[in-house]
Amino acid sequence: MLGLSPETTMLAAVVLPFIGAIAIAFLHRSPNLREAATLVTAVLLAALVWSLAGPVMAGARPDVALIEVVPGLPLAFKVEPLGLMFALVASTLWIVNSIYSIGYMRAHDEPRQTTFYVCFAIALGSAVGLAFSRNLFTLFLFYELLTLSTYPLVTHNGDRKALIGGRIYLMLLIGSSMVLLLPAIIVTAFLSGTTEFTAGGILPKGLDATIVGLLLALYAFGIGKAALMPLHFWLPSAMVAPTPVSALLHAVAVVKAGVFTVLKVVIYVFGVETLTAGGARDWLVYFASATLIAASLVALTRQNLKARLAYSTVSQLSYVVLAAAIATSSSLIGGGMHIVMHAAGKITLFFCAGAIYVAAHKTEIGELDGIGRRMPVTMAAFFIASLSIIGLPPFGGVWSKWLIGAGALDAGFAFVVGVLMVSSLLNVAYLLPIVGRAFFLPPKPDDHDVHGEAPLACLIPIVITATLCLVLFFAAGTIEELLRPLVTARPG
Amino acid sequence: MRDAILRFAEHYNYVVTIFLMVAGLFIVIARGNMIKKLIGLSVFQTSVYLLYVGPSKIIGGTAPILDPAFKVYTNPLPHVLILTAIVVGVAVLSLGLALVVRIKEAYGTIEEDEIFAQETDE
Amino acid sequence: MSALESQLPILQVIVPLVGAVLVALMRGGRSAWAVALVITWTMPVISILLMRKVLATGPISYHLGGWAPPIGIEYRVDLLAAFVLVLVSVVGAALMPFARRSVASEIDGDKQVWFYTMYLLCLAGLLGITITADAFNLFVFLEISSLATYVLIALGRDRRALLAAYQYLIMGTIGATFYVIGVGLLYLVTGSLNIYDIASRLADPAMQNPRPVMAALAFIVVGISLKLALFPLHVWLPGAYAHAPSFASAFLAGTATKVAIYVLIRFAFSVFGVAISFETLPLTEVLVVLSLAAMFIASIIAVFETNLKRMLAYSSLGQVGYITLGIALANTQGLTGGIVHLLNHALMKTALFMALGAIAYRLGSVKLDAIAGIGRRMPWTMAVFVLGGMALVGVPGTAGFVSKWYLAIGAVEKGWWPLVFAILISSLIAVVYVGRVVEVAWFREPSPAVEKCTDPPLSMLIPMLVLTAATIYFGIDTEASAGMALKAAETLLGGLK
């Protein structure tokens, strides 16, 4: 695109959202121009990232080192398939989300919208930077920036609840990353003399399995954004944020940044051989399975729609952590693919939750009786996305679960297949009753709300992302092809 | 016993120095009256003057004047240093006293405990 | 020009000393400020020229009055000294534009002249401490800067400023006297006052263990620790920073303790050497324990402070703990972390104190309750505060991260893993005390007084922004900060091992 070299495109993609943020800040007097700036930035960003797809599929790996911050710790970027995929997801959904945000924020007449859009752009910039990081240090930098830039979004409402939610959010994410992740990075730098992501891993071979296991624990819990229990409860706390934030950031950008980091660490820092030798990662398989089931069970008990979706996200994130822990070819590809599939599904669900809130001011599941008659499009989309999350054909979610299950069998973790099936049943149990209630129960007698669908700016994104769930079912082959080099590339 | 007394006598300047040092420091710590604290501080500083000047005196030595008549010299450098230190000490003492005057104007007392009592009341 | 160039070391000290006299002759605050501005702005020029010369040709030795050391007084600029000179002079100069309005609003007209006089004297003292190679001359400069500091603090608006100045005077004088006792003992043993001459005489194996040398080290370390506010010798500092005029707090936080730390490094490594300081005497153990205590206890106290200046003062104590921890590690990475944190902390803390100065200028108070809702009224000022706070935490991309990285690697090299966690956990406490201010500043309804506040004039805003930008810059490009610190640490450790 525009005749830019892949390297320049990559840097431009990292820098663009930050420039966009500045532009948005300067346009605060004119909401229309400001929103235009958001949209233009989002579209340009997606264009830049998509233009990288071709070269990367063809085998190119744009690579730029900017500056050596500390000897051995350069600020450096490199596009590889997994990062590209994450950047594609984040940047593409940002366009959709921006349209939705505009509809949602205006319909609600929210205060402080400029701050909202500025922080959103910075968060997206951090996510792209994180996706294109060439080493742990760069990744850590953007990881922290992502936390800090989303804090104002979480606390957007400015009331007591937002304040408490923000505290938990900040302390848990900053705390885990400072106290666990950073030491893990320090240990890695000390053991291997570098933090560069390298195919096959950088840890010295023949490391004791106990040390590998401990280091893995530091990473798995230090990456708090992956929401592994018991460090998951920042995510439900973050639900005090406006729904577009929950949709893009706490179903896609932030949480996926977490599991993306886990995958990245497993593939490029540990390396599959080091990780699996001596069963160093076995505990994480059990742990992720436990989180997976437990979070689904908690989701069942939640009567607030966004809270239920949040726990569903916690559970779904564990699929990816589980896939990373199993660490076979198909599970790793499945884990990567699940980032995409779950993103499309969950963002749709959150969009629907937001649309219901905008149109009917309802947040509790118990209030949704019969709402399907007034908001048929929204609830149909909800249904489609639910099916994708559950993992039924013809929707995207089925493939990633399939691959993870297949990988588990390869590695001899037969019980994981059982876990996946139980979890799918639980998904059915906590998602489909909502749809059933909406379409088949009569409205409560005291429900005299007269409303239709949410504004068009909210509705269009819902339709787009729901369609995406279907499209992804057929695109799985392409994603698989993109991710294949992750597991085939072996050093020398 | 005799040895011990002799050793003590040989080093009596150090004993005096250390006595003044500890006494001065004790006054600074133990007294609540700000003027008395400053007096203690001055005693403490004075002990250092002795620490420098005492050992530099050689019995029978003279100022370092190059003349065949003089054979043994006393090092004049410590005296010079201590002249400087005395100047510093005077400056500290006068600034400290000036502060005490201002504190007396502001609080009406120069007893530390009374001043702290006033501060905690607020 | 080259004649002038060879005189640079002495000019670094003489210019502000003479400047102080010139300022004292001025009539009004504005002219005093103008003269002080010119003087302070020549300081970085001189120090940077010195730095360049050191980098090009190695350490500079300047003989006062042409008397060669060890008889004459020597001024000696090596890499570490140049580093600290640049730090002090740049902070001193960067603060001056901020001074005009801040000082005018906090100090009565006729006293402003004396304020600037004392400021220049203090600056001259601090630069003199750094540049001199004569242990007794160092004492004199120490007292020049201290006496000036007592006056700067006493000029605070509140009567408690007088009390704080008095307490600091007592503690500071005890510290300086301890130092001079230590120097006296060294002189009695070695017969020299030039610190490099002392060092070479102490390097004699026969000199490694005599008791006066041990006593001298103990006295000097305790004396200097009082000046650098090492926990638990810190009690003077919070009051002094809290009640001094805003400008003085910012200046002292950035420079005074840093120069004292420089003296500690100089004596521990250059004079006594690693063998005496860390092997014969357990300086490592003592400093690690006290540094950890500072990092945790002082930071926790900061969480509960409601006066923000006092909060930052306690935060400074904690940050000093990181620097002394780096010294205690006594290996290249750790010491680099300590030295680079000298610079990084000076930048961030000066910016933070300036932000409070700007709030005091507009609002007249820096109490936590008073600033409710100020985030939207003074966005730039609070942005400086938040970024400075993030640097205190050690968020990557800020200078604080670089310091902590080196410290952590230094601890790892020693095999002290728990220390790595201690460093990082203690940084989290900073999240709490910074976060508390953020919550009050943004989530509470502004009072009528806050409603009227706006960002301060550009003359105050730009210095803050410049230092904040530097904090970010040194988190990304560390060639000039950590690169220098690394070289300095290598020299300190390599020279006398």
State the Cα–Cα distance between residues B113 and A240, nearest whole angstrom. 51
Identify the H or E element spanning A64: strand A63-70
Its ipTM equals 0.92
Q: Which residues of B touch C71 (CB under 8 A)?
A: none
Neighboring chains of A (3 or more beta-carbon pairs < 8 A) = C
- pLDDT for residue C466: 92
Closest by CA position to A236, among listed A323, A289, A308, A182: A308
Q: Which residues of C touch B51 (CB under 8 A)?
A: 181, 184-185
Chain C interface test: which of B58, B88, B111, B120 (most C C-beta within 10 Å) = B88
Across the interface, of B28, B81, B115, the residue whose CB is closest to C174 is B28
Q: Do A144 and C397 touch (CB under 8 A)?
A: yes
Q: Do A179 and C408 touch (CB under 8 A)?
A: no
Q: Give the CATH number for residue B45.
A: 1.10.287.3510
User: Can you list the positions of beta strands (E) in C52-188?
Assistant: 60-63, 74-77
Q: Which residues contact A487 (CB under 8 A, 6 or more apart)?
A: A267, A272, A329, A332, A333
Nearest chain B residue to C148 by CA: give it.
Answer: B95
Q: For the segment B58-79, what is each residue's pLDDT rounded down to a tens digit?
A: 777 777 777 787 778 888 888 8
Nearest chain C residue to B56 by CA: give it.
Answer: C188
pTM for the structure as a whole = 0.90
Q: For the segment A287-302, what is each residue's pLDDT rounded down to a tens digit?
A: 888 888 898 899 888 8
**Residue C174 sits at the chain B interface (C-beta within 8 Å):** yes
List C-alpha distances in Å: C67 to A422, C64, C133, C186: 88, 6, 13, 22
Q: For the segment C191-235, what is each residue's pLDDT rounded down to a tens digit?
A: 888 998 888 888 887 776 678 888 999 999 999 999 998 888 888
State the Cα–Cα distance between residues C320 and C328, nearest whole angstrom. 12
**Residue C114 sits at the chain B interface (C-beta within 8 Å):** no
What number of residues does chain A have?
492
Which C-chain residues 402-441 have CB contacts (< 8 A) with chain A?
A: 402, 405-406, 408-409, 412, 420-421, 424-425, 427-428, 431-432, 435, 439
Q: Which residues of C touch A179 (CB under 8 A)?
A: 421, 424-425, 428
Total domains, chain B = 1
Q: Do C428 and A158 touch (CB under 8 A)?
A: no
What number of C-beta contacts closer than 8 Å exist between A and C?
A: 70
Q: Do A187 and C408 touch (CB under 8 A)?
A: no
Nearest chain B residue to C192 by CA: give it.
Answer: B77
Phi, psi of A75, rounded to the nearest 5 degrees: -85, 105
Question: Which amino acid is residue C181, in one-letter code?
Answer: I
Q: Do A141 and C431 touch (CB under 8 A)?
A: no
Across the interface, of A141, A166, A183, the residue whose CB is closest to C424 is A183
Q: Do C177 and B91 touch (CB under 8 A)?
A: no
What range does the domain containing B76 cover? 2-59+69-121
Across the interface, of C136, C154, C174, the residue whose CB is closest to B99 is C154
Q: Provide the residue ranges of all domains of chain A, joining segments of one domain with +.
A: 1-275, 281-492
Phi, psi of A223, rounded to the nearest 5 degrees: -80, 75
Angstroms from C107 CA to nearest CA on chain A: 38
C and A adjacent (3 or more CB pairs under 8 angstroms):
yes
- pLDDT for residue B44: 93
Q: Exposed, middle or buried, A342 (CB in 10 Å: 0-12/13-18/19+)?
A: buried
Within 10 Å of residue C20's Cβ, how many Cβ atoms?
Answer: 23
**Ranges of residues in chain A whose predicted pLDDT is under 50:** 1, 490-492
Q: Provide the residue ranges of all domains of chain C, joining segments of one domain with +.
A: 282-497
Q: For the segment B9-59, what is each residue's pLDDT rounded down to a tens digit?
A: 878 888 888 999 999 999 999 988 999 999 999 999 999 998 888 887 777
Q: In DSSP terms, which residues pair with A133 in a beta bridge?
A: A77
Which C-chain residues 450-489 have CB contacts (< 8 A) with chain B?
A: none
- Say what angle helices C246-265 and C135-154 make with each other, to 10 degrees: 160
Closest by CA position to A184, among listed A151, A139, A227: A139
Q: For the segment A460-482, what is each residue's pLDDT rounded down to a tens digit?
A: 888 888 888 888 888 888 888 88
Nearest chain C residue to A74 by CA: give it.
Answer: C476
- pLDDT for residue C209: 67
Reported as half-sphere exposure (CB side, CA atoms, 13 A), residue C203 has a value of 13
Within 10 Å of residue B84's Cβ, how many Cβ atoms?
Answer: 14
Across the interface, of C143, C162, C193, the residue whose CB is closest to B88 is C143
Q: Do B44 and C177 touch (CB under 8 A)?
A: yes
Across the interface, of A70, A141, A183, the residue whose CB is closest to C482 is A70
Across the interface, of C390, C408, C476, the residue whose CB is closest to A186 is C408
What number of C-beta contacts closer than 8 Å exist between B and C?
A: 68
Q: Which residues contact A463 (CB under 8 A, 6 or more apart)?
A: A377, A381
Across the interface, of A163, A170, A186, the residue whose CB is closest to C431 is A170
**Residue C177 sits at the chain B interface (C-beta within 8 Å):** yes
**Ranges of residues in chain C whose predicted pLDDT is under 70:** 1, 208-209, 495-497
List C-alpha distances in Å: C190 to A145, A327, C208, C221: 55, 67, 12, 18
List C-alpha distances in Å: C170 to A53, B34, B39, C98: 70, 10, 11, 30
Question: Which amino acid is residue C492, in one-letter code?
Answer: L
Closest by CA position to C382, among listed C312, C313, C465: C465
Q: Do C431 and A137 touch (CB under 8 A)?
A: no
Cα three-residue angle C170-C174-C179, rounded to 5 degrees:
150
Contact between residue B81 and residue B51 where contact means Cβ atoms under 8 Å apart: no
Phi, psi of C409, rounded to the nearest 5 degrees: -65, -40
The rounded Cα A240 to chain-centroid distance in angstroms is: 18
- pLDDT for residue A11: 86
List C-alpha distances in Å: A177 to A235, A258, B6, C398: 15, 11, 68, 16
Query: How much of chain B is helix, strand and coil, in % rounded to 5?
Result: 75, 5, 20
Chain C interface test: which of B74, B81, B120 (most C C-beta within 10 Å) = B81
